Copies of this chain bind each other. A is one copy, B any other.
């Protein structure tokens, strides 16, 4: 009886990581509510991918929440500055080392988790899934395990859950310690079709992945290390 499953809000960008997370949440027995954001990304391919993914997984509901972050957030991802490109994995690693990349969107995961938290409270979901990843994390501060723990603690004080222990909310970040190759192997074992996902920060006019941005390179290397070929169109 599907209505007896516990509910989970799953943050879904339509990329490789969040799609794998959705597969994991379903494997773990959750009734999934997917949440995507339209926040002034320079292209809408991500949202198209998110819609395809949500549909192929048969989620209970898929909401796209519009956030006007572009109006004051500086990031290359919302059209403010160039997307960094690299010609090799070595160049990528050298560039990512010890620095926060220009594609960082200020407080993005905090804003996304907060909207997810509001929705979770409305639908009485006690789980939120997010595809952050600390190993291949690309230098974003809000992808670290200590951040997720601190968010969960705050969330339980923020809401009705904080008043009633049986309502305790858990933030699930199942990818947090996995390499990209492990994430891909895990997704493949769960039947994920990565050809419908989208990860590129700067797709070509023909809507193909650029193959040279941080996101493309981390993904390509993951497939290479998993001994597979990335089905994303390049």
Q: Which residues of A contact B (CB under 8 A)?
A: 63, 65-69, 71-74, 100, 104-111, 113-115, 117-119, 121-122, 141-142, 144, 146-147, 150-151, 153-155, 157-160, 162-163
Are B118 and A69 in contact (CB-based, < 8 A)?
Answer: yes
Copies of this chain assembled into the complex: 2
Interface residues of A, dominant DSSP: helix
Known contacts A141-B158, A163-B141; A117/B110 CB under 8 A: yes
Query: Of the candidates B66, B72, B73, B147, which one forms a contact with A154 in the assembled complex, judged by CB atoms under 8 Å apart?
Result: B147
Cβ of A121: which chain B residues have Cβ within 8 Å of it? 106-107
Query: Of the candidates B110, B122, B146, which one forms a contact with A74 in the assembled complex, judged by CB atoms under 8 Å apart?
Result: B122
Besides the contacts A107-B155, A111-B111, what 10 more A-B pairs have beta carbons closer than 8 Å? A73-B119, A73-B122, A74-B122, A106-B117, A106-B119, A106-B159, A107-B117, A111-B117, A141-B162, A150-B150
Query: Of the candidates B63, B111, B147, which one forms a contact with A118 in the assembled complex, judged by CB atoms under 8 Å apart?
Result: B111
- Residue contacts A-B, CB under 8 angstroms, 21 given: A63-B72, A74-B122, A100-B160, A104-B160, A105-B118, A106-B117, A106-B118, A107-B114, A108-B118, A110-B158, A111-B118, A113-B114, A114-B114, A141-B158, A141-B162, A142-B157, A142-B159, A150-B157, A151-B158, A153-B154, A154-B154
Cβ of A153: which chain B residues have Cβ within 8 Å of it? 150, 153-154
What is the distance, in angstroms, from A23's C-beta to the closest C-beta of chain B?
24
Are B115 and A111 in contact (CB-based, < 8 A)?
Answer: yes
Q: Once bound together, how far apart are the Cα atoms of A151 and B127, in whole Å?
A: 19
Query: Of the candidates B117, B154, B157, B163, which one forms a contact with A100 in the assembled complex, judged by CB atoms under 8 Å apart?
Result: B163
Are A111 and B114 in contact (CB-based, < 8 A)?
Answer: yes
Cβ of A113: which chain B residues have Cβ within 8 Å of it? 114
- Residue from A67, A106, A142, A163 whose CB has the most chain B CB atoms within 10 Å: A106
Closest to A99 in B: B163
Cβ of A68: which chain B residues have Cβ within 8 Å of it? 65-66
Are B72 and A119 in contact (CB-based, < 8 A)?
Answer: yes
